[in-house]
Amino acid sequence: MAFFSEEMKPMLDTYLGETSELMADFDRIVDEGEQSNTFTPDDIAELFRSAHTIKSSSAAMGLNALSRLTHHMEDLLGIFREDPKKIQGRVSRVLGHFYEYSDFVKKELARMQDDDYQPAEGDSIYEELTEDIRFFSHPDTEEGPEGAKKEAPLSGDEDISLPKPSDGEIMLHLTFRPDVAMINARAMVIERQISGKFHVLAIAPKVLNGDESGNFLTKRGMYVVFPEKEADEARKMLSKNLYLSKVEDAAEEDPPSPKEEMGEKKYELSAKEKFISLRWENIQELQNVGGGLLASESLVRKIAGNHPEIPELKDFNADFTRLLEELISRIDSMALVRVSSLVPQLNRTVWDMSRNMDREVDFQVEGQEIKIDRNLYNNISEPLLHMIRNSLDHGIEPKEERLALGKSEKGHIRLTVENQGSHVIFRIFDDGRGMKYKEILAKAEKEGKLDKPASAYTEEEALQLIMKPGFSTSDHVTQYSGRGVGMDIVNHVVSGFGGRIFIRTKPGKGTEIAIDMPVSVTAVESLGFKVGPYVCVLPLYNVEMIFSHEEGEERIGSREGKRIFTMRKREIPVLDLHKAYGVEGEENYFIVVRSIEEEFCIGVDTVTGQETASSQPIPKILEGNWQASTGIRNAIIHADGSIGFALNAVLLNVLCQKQGKEE
């Protein structure tokens, strides 16, 4: 039997969205605390508020184990909130428990979307927090007193009475809308918002989770006391809250007991929900719809151009284009994620490994403010994590070795993110031991992984061998390396997304690995052309120049058995797409394509012109090797409804180089 009923599914989406945001804030603060080795009173207060909200909303969802565990985290943070000095100098003692708690909550959130979800208990983390509570309650002794402070009741079954405002204080009465679901969680969110901006002097109910509090909030509302000078601003802010129907000055009489007023009736969560939570899948569908509309707009524009005698059609197209561009812009903004969202996970990896390997590492990230598409975010996360693990495991030397080499005891790893328009570049630097390409070449030759004689390999080609399946630079299998499945997977993910990996290294000095990834977009202005029976498109930002058959014939030649195309006194390779696709056709046009910093040329049958291509994902079975062997990134829908292929310049360039070697 499913843990969440169908009636609770809309509330589950809301809970997952809000709790994920709270955990992102939690991770960010913990990450900053680890970096600075301290937590400020404001940090502790924000962590406490996050835990307080998660505890209450989890209880409202029936997630008692998670609520119980989070309540224990709240108890620990409460000790630090009362006396911030207790955590200073002892950050390392609690950091691991903060990370474990975060991992547990995020795994639970992920599992809650499964049909067979059943809550986990988290008993081991609970016991660890219990030990910390005992210790920090009396930090001057090695062991705290027997038994930590008792938990406050999760049910909220206490007497509910109104605060008594003093002179210079104003009490506001907040009335919730009748159809608000998860009212306990909503109240907690309101408390968190106002506590972060105003001086909240008192609040009723004091405990915002549980049935009785839910009943009180539903029937009577919420009471908050502010300093008189802040009351007007607080009233304005609260009046904008979607879940409140009324915000007014409160009467000072005590309310009746919830049980007296409502008998034994229990508060029930409403199935109605006005809050809309968008999953990533929903945004992807919106992107696809927007891309389809853009393709249709191209057809409307063409029709309007063919009928200038109908001015209304031209006006309609102008309005349609303007509104559609605004819609696409808003959809795209919803799909953007800051790189900073990745940083806590990366810092966590460095923290774990440096402790386990007894290595001191300074890890820095530059370009955190850059926003990237969620598709790119999802594809780049694991490769970046693996690259950083490699830098720590293979690159950064043990302390003694670094000191003997005249290096600082602490190693340095730096991740930089650069937005270059149609591409985003991720670079990972380390000041470790570097790589010796001759040793890599020799090992690859010994393991039979060379495609040509060792003497024919350049240094760059030799370094690329570390991405061969089953190849590892480590001679011993450890927790982090030695199995030969790392860089192969990274290369598979990056190339499958149309990206490319570059490696630079200096033995004894360090290594730089750059991952160049195309920006993921659903619809983009493209050049259409035909190769045999196939209709293809390529983004305009990758198109350098187009030559007719006559112009191209004068520039086509060969060198060392390979076809070349001469442009501006430079010779660039030619990719034969007809041969690659196994189709007949004529090269009536030559298109010079720019891929990152490299150029190559393709011959096509016809050029169909500029169009807005609506990209659609190809079946999973065709990803990876099929994409690499064809240069096809996605399918497209043309304005007339026909299907074609969206080519990727990076994949085509790799295919061009491979074809050149075969020639």
What per-residue confidence (pLDDT) applies to 211? Answer: 66
**Same domain for 39 and 63?**
yes
Is 277 part of a structural domain of the chain?
A: no
* Pair 468, 488: CB distance under 8 Å: yes
Euclidean distance between the first and the last CA atom of the chain, given in angstroms as a whole number: 62
pTM of the predicted model, to two decimals? 0.55
Q: CA geometry: angle at 299 spanning 583 and 538, to 5°?
A: 40
Cβ neighbors of 268 (< 8 A, separation 6 or more) are: none
**Same domain for 37 and 183?**
no
**Same domain for 178 and 309?**
no
What per-residue confidence (pLDDT) applies to 492? Answer: 76
- Name residue, tokens 């001015």: 311
User: How many whole angstroms separate alpha carbon 71 and alpha carbon 97?
Assistant: 14
What per-residue confidence (pLDDT) applies to 242? Answer: 76
Cβ neighbors of 364 (< 8 A, separation 6 or more) are: 412, 413, 414, 415
3-state secondary structure 69-110: HHHHHHHHHHHHHHCHHHCCCCHHHHHHHHHHHHHHHHHHHH
User: How many whole angstroms separate alpha carbon 507 and alpha carbon 431?
Assistant: 10
**Same domain for 214 and 193?**
yes
Q: What is the mean pLDDT of each run of 10 residues along the chain (663 residues)?
A: 70 81 88 86 90 84 88 91 88 86 90 87 90 81 41 43 86 86 78 85 82 81 92 90 86 48 38 45 72 72 84 84 78 77 84 84 89 80 87 90 92 90 86 91 86 86 83 56 60 77 91 84 77 90 90 88 88 92 93 83 93 68 72 75 81 85 71
**Same domain for 527 and 566?**
yes
Where residue 33 sits, what CATH number does that domain have? 1.20.120.160
Instruction: Output phi, psi for 641, to 5 deg.
Output: 95, -5
Q: Report in angstroms the alpha-carbon separations of 344 from 39, 58, 71, 336, 363.
A: 16, 24, 23, 18, 11
Q: Among residues 191, 185, 182, which one has the least CA distance to residue 45?
A: 191
What per-residue confidence (pLDDT) applies to 251? Answer: 66
What per-residue confidence (pLDDT) applies to 280? Answer: 63
Where residue 220 sits, what CATH number does that domain have? 3.30.70.60
Is 126 part of a structural domain of the chain?
A: yes
Domain that holds residue 594: 523-662
What per-residue confidence (pLDDT) applies to 372? Answer: 83
Q: What's the half-sphere exposure (Cβ side, CA atoms, 13 Å) at 624? A: 9
**Same domain for 328 and 385?**
no
How many domains would you assign to the chain? 5
Is 484 part of a structural domain of the chain?
A: yes
**Same domain for 24 and 93?**
yes
**Same domain for 508 and 638?**
no
* Pair 157, 218: CB distance under 8 Å: no
